[in-house]
Amino acid sequence: MNTVVLGKMRCGGFTGRLQADWRKAGLQKSGWLKTVNAVSGRFGSAGLWLAGALLLAGCSDQAWNNPHPESEASANILYSSFSERPKHLDPARSYSSDESRFIDQIYEPPLAYDYLKRPYELIPNTLTAIPDIRYSDAEGNEVDADSENIAFSTYHFQLQPGIRYQPHPAFALNKNGESRYLFASAAESAQYRTLDDFTEQGSRELLAEDYVYQIKRLADPERLSPVRALLSDYIIGMTEFSQMVSEARKALEEKAGKQAWLDLRQLSMAGVEAQGRYDFTIRLKGKYPQFKYWLAFHFFAPIPWEVDRFYHQPGLAERNIVLDWHPVGSGPFMMTRNNPNEVIILEKNPNYRADYYPSEGMPGDAEAGLLDDAGKQLPLLDKVVYRLEKEAIPLWTKFMQGYYDRSGIASDSFDQAIRVSSDGIGLSPEMMEKGVSLEKEVVLGSYYLAFNMLDPVVGDKGDAKSRERARKLRQAIAIAYDQQEMISIFANGRGEVAMSPIPPGIFGYQSGEEGINPYVFDWVDGKPQRKSLEEAKRLLAEAGYPGGRHEKTGEPLVLNLDTPTGGGGGSAMQNWMIKQFKKLNIQLNIRGTDYNRFKEKMQTGNAQLFQWGWLADYPDAENFLFLQYGNNGQVISGGSGVNSTNYNNAEYNRLFDQMQLMEDSPQRMEIIRRMIAIMQRDAVWASGWHPHSYVLNNHWVRNVKAHGISKSVVKYFAVDTEKRRQAQAAWNEPVLWPIFVVAGILLLALLPGYRAFRRRQQRRIETMLVANVSTTNKEQEG
Amino acid sequence: MLAYIIRRLAYALPILIGVNLLTFALFFMVNTPDQMARVQLGDKHVSEEAIEQWKAQRGYDKPLFINTAENSEGLLTDTIFFDKSARLFVFDFGKSDEGRVIGADISERMWPSLAVALPTFIIGISVNIVFALFVVMFRASMFDTAAMVLCVVLLSISGVFYILGGQYFFAKLWHLVPISGYLGGTDAIRFLILPVIIGVVAGIGGGTRLYRTLFLEEANKDYVRTARAKGVSETAVLFRHILPNGLIPILTSVVVVIPSLFMGSLLIESFFGIPGLGSYTLDAIQAQDFAIVRSMVFLGSVLYILGLILTDISYTLVDPRVRLS
């Protein structure tokens, strides 16, 4: 068998090579070959179109399996993927990391995070400086930041002049300086089927009133902003504004119909005001130090009123031409294609402001090449292409073929990508040979197994004695549940046991001996060691369940775990969990349920044990410790709180109230330590872990540094397109011998059939001739 | 015939209402509007007010089937069921739960579905018929036995296995085609080759066995014997006599699926990342987007009914003896 492996080829080149290979194989135009040709001509031509189509792909320089258009071969593009189609791209509505990864490249809130510095540091984004904050008492007198009489906080923002929005039809003007695209009816806009049909575009300068307009949009109940309720507690006049908007909209709809656009500029919000072209203020009730982090969220990105009006024109929403799908911003990229069913494309915003790659980083950043592009104008890419990839295998294969520049690691591919040894976790030899680099980070979040404190068996209810017993039961379970083993088995070691809700990298996290949970671990030989099972059994006995049975009734202790993963306990993970409880002779009943019902159970407090997780909004301990704050209890708050355990400890609550108003300081650290000690003692969480994120980068990708909070990082990325082109060509040479093997097998199968067919045709004719002859003879004889 | 078609269309109405009713009942048994709102609004900071607002915006704040607060016709019409169902009958699918216009999505996504389904359908039918005729030609021979064994083997293999195997060999190992994805225009061909091959190969087993049975039945009839007796060649017997007469029962299984080609293939589209209506439906089920599920079930029912009517009409075209009345 001749093996034919051809690389890049052109049409003419291919046919020439093919004939040469046939000649090499000694297949001249012999009689045998003629027969083959005859057979294939008769029976195979219909099927050969597929081979023809395959060979047509050889008409270009591009590898045959390249999923990207040939025109992009040498373009400065980053190829990435998304697995979940974004639901909302409106910065007032979007609240998911799947959506932030797109819109955070487009929208520019006032603040941003430094890309390279750790711990995470806020820097001005569109501002000239970090906002100036002034505090005042109830009478309006200015007071110090640490005063106890703070009644109001006033944030003053000064914008950089000259920032311009991306080109967009909403800014297009006619000769009279009026909006080019204004439609009185749906019929007028009917010719515009997609956003691309609006051929004229314009731009304008970013103004302070655009930020004010967006904050008003956040307050508009129609926008369904997830942060409206939270911000209404702080921004002065926001609640009243929401009411005002509802009434104004109702009146407008009665007058002009449901699609009418409500100009929010006509309504004012007491706490938000544009004082000039470039400066505006936000006034808050009291002191809210975490507000600065919200200012780095896309919720506070500017929306020009022209854009809001443009998308509210009659007929456009019926064709999905809405702000929720077609964002408009002043950021480094603009969305030029949004087909969430297939591809989302971001292109460099030609109007992007003067923004440069940072020249300072952390120790080691320069050695890692992270400062090589220091001082260069951002963004470094011309385009970012995100393709929908719902299945893990194609995604991984395309990364390995060089068609995606970056990739996460699915469990199936972990062994291929990562080698775990006594030296730690590193890349496998295959990855190292390809020049792939590994980007590791601790995700700012926690997954946990927790108790519902309202439950009569495991919760914090009843008299002091029963509460103490339940506490010991929870502590016993916390010791028996080997979280490290779970991470090793089910997460390929990608995570670390959570001693508290606060993950590494956040102020309040403590490593080493002082950071361990002393109710579950001992510090032995310089590392934490889980307490013995005997200790857990002792606590269980003290809790009233010696040997896992009720001390009076003798009935086995049965606990119910609610999990949103579904299934009934048959999965390996669930079996493992049952085994953990079995160590204490506790029977665990796993109640798998769909996510909706699970959330309903959480909302009503109808659970005993449950598994859930939390990903941080911002890098502050408050954003983790409020998971146990009493007022945030799901049941108390009617489902809107984040404290699913419904834990309500007076001392913890008091310390939380104190801590959340403080800036990071040794005093704040001490309070956090006390809070953690309280929840550790009460064993609110049976166990928890902070996952690690592993991302692989092909060797042509530069300037990649994991950032746990910010998604606005693509502007720093760079790719070496020539290296990528070479690698793609080398890694994807088409292997052609299977085509010939298949064709050969088909011919071999057809050949005997064809001969048999010919014989059969021949035999019939012969038979008929014989029959005719014998008939003639008989006639003659007769 | 016109009267027949009108009558069939009239029969379709109660069927469609029934299908819609069943979809409603099943969906709302699993999901309440509150739960749908929570899915759409996310996990963090979801207030009761936001849930009510979401329901009101999408018309889920009304009673499901009977509005006891209303009088006369409002009792039945001012409900979620009537509100959502009535518009379906004029093919106004409304908006999905996440806010996109379903009609616009369907018109956009049906083309990739057709791009996969149509060649798979045409090539598949052709290959199956030709293969079945060959088998019939060599009936009761070793070739016949081997072909039937092969068909049973092909029939027994799971569709997912074909897909994963095809992706592994053709795309990953031999680098002949992209493993998944889709581009518009002529670029689409590269992405369609593998799904079409897999669709055709996966259908050979079942298709060939069915058509072989049909053709064998025809092959034993008197007119075939007569043709052979008159000295007609075997090829002509197969293609000019057996095939046209064998097509009538084949039409039953073929024409009925033609309209449904628009609906795409759930498996193929999902595994190959083809943005068609099959993956649209699957995504909607996973996201519990009732508006899309309801629309797709309705559309599927309409197309199926249309397929049945077309089948009846096609009978009259291929067999002059059949009259619709």
Cα–Cα distance, A589 to A26 (Å, whole number) = 71
**B88-124 b/e with 16+ CB inside 10 Å = b?**
beeeebbbbbbbbbbbbbbebbbebbbbbbebbbebb
| B8 falls within a domain | no
Statement to judge: residues B269 and B128 lie in one domain: yes
- Among B56, B90, B124, the domain-final residue is B90
Tokens of A395: 């995604």
Residues of B in contact with A596 (CB under 8 A): 31, 35, 38-39, 288
Cis peptide bond upstream of B275, omega within 30: no
A388 touches chain B (CB under 8 A): yes
More confident residue, A765 or A724: A724
Q: What would the mean pLDDT of A388-416 be, rounded to a whole number? A: 91
| B270 falls within a domain | yes
Give the domain range for residue B61: 34-90
- Topology, domain A445-693: Dipeptide-binding Protein; domain 3 (3.10.105)
B29 touches chain A (CB under 8 A): no
Q: Do B35 and A600 touch (CB under 8 A)?
A: yes
Q: Do B181 and A394 touch (CB under 8 A)?
A: yes
**Across A538-547, B63-72, B291-300, which has the greatest mean pLDDT?**
A538-547
Statement to judge: residues B56 and B194 lie in one domain: no
Query: How far away is chain B from the Cα of A742, in angstroms, using its nearest Cα?
Result: 12
Q: Do B275 and A342 touch (CB under 8 A)?
A: yes
- Start-to-end CA distance of chain B, whole Å, equals 6
Q: What would the mean pLDDT of A276-295 be, rounded to a whole number? A: 96
Q: Hey, CA dihedral for B239, B245, B250, B254, is it positive or negative? A: positive
Q: What pLDDT does residue A6 have?
A: 34
Statement to judge: residues B164 and B238 lie in one domain: yes
A190 touches chain B (CB under 8 A): no
Q: Phi first, then psi: give them for residue A159, nearest 5 degrees.
A: -80, 150
Q: What pLDDT does residue B134 have?
A: 85
Burial of A681 (0-12, 13-18, 19+ CB in 10 A): middle
Q: What pLDDT does residue A428 have?
A: 93
Tokens of A508: 């309040």
Q: Do B176 and A341 touch (CB under 8 A)?
A: no
Q: What would the mean pLDDT of A679-703 be, rounded to a whole number? A: 95
Q: Do A733 and B35 touch (CB under 8 A)?
A: no
Cα–Cα distance, B44 to A97 (Å, whole number) = 12
Statement to judge: residues B175 and B38 lie in one domain: no
User: Chains A, B: CB contacts under 8 A, how many?
Assistant: 173
Statement to judge: residues B152 and B41 lie in one domain: no
Band of pLDDT at residue A26, cut at 50, 70 and 90? very low
Q: How far is CA A664 from CA A508, A530, A672, B44, in A?
A: 9, 31, 10, 25
- The one-character DSSP state at A403 is S
Band of pLDDT at residue B139, cut at 50, 70 and 90? confident
Q: Could you give the percent of chain B with pLDDT greater than 70?
A: 99
Statement to judge: residues B84 and B111 lie in one domain: no
Q: Do B175 and A318 touch (CB under 8 A)?
A: no
The mean-pLDDT minimum among A672-686, A749-763, B187-201 falls in: A749-763
What tens digit of pLDDT does each residue of A611-647 get? Answer: 999 999 999 999 999 999 999 999 998 877 899 999 9
B164 touches chain A (CB under 8 A): yes
Q: Do A320 and B101 touch (CB under 8 A)?
A: yes
Q: Global pTM?
A: 0.85
Mutate to test the interface with B, among A85, A197, A243, A341 (most CBs of B within 10 A): A341
Cα–Cα distance, B131 to B30 (Å, whole number) = 46
Burial of A576 (0-12, 13-18, 19+ CB in 10 A): middle
Q: What's the CATH class of domain A77-385?
A: alpha beta
In chain B, how many domains are there? 2
Q: What pLDDT does residue B325 have?
A: 64
CB atoms within 10 A of CB B323: 10
Q: What pLDDT does residue A781 have?
A: 57
| B26 falls within a domain | no
Q: Is the pLDDT of residue A40 over 70?
A: no
Cα–Cα distance, A539 to A224 (Å, whole number) = 48
- Whole-number average pLDDT of chain B: 87
Burial of A525 (0-12, 13-18, 19+ CB in 10 A): exposed
| B23 falls within a domain | no
A621, A507 Cβ separation under 8 angstroms: yes
Band of pLDDT at residue A570, cut at 50, 70 and 90? low
Q: What would the mean pLDDT of A491-520 be, rounded to a whole number? A: 93
Statement to judge: residues B217 and B295 lie in one domain: yes
Chain-centroid distance, C-alpha A443: 12
| B28 falls within a domain | no
B274, B110 Cβ separation under 8 angstroms: no
| B97 falls within a domain | no
Band of pLDDT at residue A332, cut at 50, 70 and 90? very high
Chain-centroid distance, C-alpha A292: 23
What tens digit of pLDDT does each residue of A228-239 get? Answer: 999 999 999 999
Mutate to test the interface with A, among B34, B44, B53 (most CBs of A within 10 A): B44
More confident residue, B256 or A610: A610
Statement to judge: residues B186 and B227 lie in one domain: yes
Which residues are A281's β-sheet partners? A156, A273
Cα–Cα distance, A699 to A406 (Å, whole number) = 10
B197 touches chain A (CB under 8 A): yes
- The one-character DSSP state at A532 is P
Q: Do A229 and B50 touch (CB under 8 A)?
A: yes
Q: Is the pLDDT of residue A45 over 80?
A: no
Q: Could you give the percent of chain A with pLDDT greater than 70?
A: 88
Q: Say which amino acid occupies B257.
A: V
Band of pLDDT at residue A3, cut at 50, 70 and 90? very low
Q: What pLDDT does residue A772 have?
A: 57
A228 touches chain B (CB under 8 A): yes
Statement to judge: residues B77 and B184 lie in one domain: no
Spell out the alpha helix ranges (H) of B142-238.
Answer: 142-156, 159-166, 188-219, 222-229, 234-236
**Across A4-8, A330-334, A549-553, B108-112, which has the greatest mean pLDDT?**
A330-334
Q: Is the pLDDT of residue A180 over 60?
A: yes
The mean-pLDDT minimum among A13-27, A741-755, B183-197 falls in: A13-27
Q: Is the pLDDT of residue A362 over 50?
A: yes
More confident residue, A571 or A129: A129
For position B188, which CATH number holds?
Answer: 1.10.3720.10
Cα–Cα distance, A334 to A75 (Å, whole number) = 17
Cis peptide bond upstream of A518, omega within 30: no
Spell out the alpha helix ranges (H) of A626-665.
Answer: 650-659
**Which of B41, B164, B270 is the closest to A390 by Cβ?**
B270
Q: Is the pLDDT of residue A31 over 50?
A: no
Statement to judge: residues B187 and B295 lie in one domain: yes
Q: What pLDDT does residue A763 have?
A: 63
Nearest-by-CA chain B residue for A612: B43
**Across A3-7, A45-49, A53-57, A497-501, which has the greatest mean pLDDT?**
A497-501
Q: Give the pairing type, strands A77-82 and A383-388.
A: parallel
Q: What would the mean pLDDT of A432-456 be, rounded to a whole number? A: 93
A142, A136 Cβ separation under 8 angstroms: yes
Statement to judge: residues B121 and B247 lie in one domain: yes
Whole-number CA gyration radius for chain A: 34
Q: What pLDDT does residue B316 have?
A: 80
Chain-centroid distance, C-alpha A350: 27
| B325 falls within a domain | no
Q: How far is CA A214 from CA A229, A312, A441, A622, B185, in A?
A: 16, 15, 33, 26, 39
Band of pLDDT at residue A592, cut at 50, 70 and 90? confident
Q: Do B175 and A54 touch (CB under 8 A)?
A: no
Looking at chain A, the domain(s) classified CATH 3.10.105.10 span 445-693
More confident residue, A623 or A46: A623
Q: What pLDDT does residue B90 have?
A: 85
A322 touches chain B (CB under 8 A): yes
Band of pLDDT at residue B39, cut at 50, 70 and 90? confident
Residues of A in contact with B281 (CB under 8 A): none
Q: Say which amino acid occupies A162.
A: G
Q: What pLDDT does residue A628 have?
A: 96
The mean-pLDDT minimum among A26-40, A147-161, A199-213, B193-207 falls in: A26-40
Q: Is the pLDDT of residue A33 over 50?
A: no
Q: What pLDDT does residue B9 have?
A: 87
Statement to judge: residues B128 and B171 lie in one domain: yes
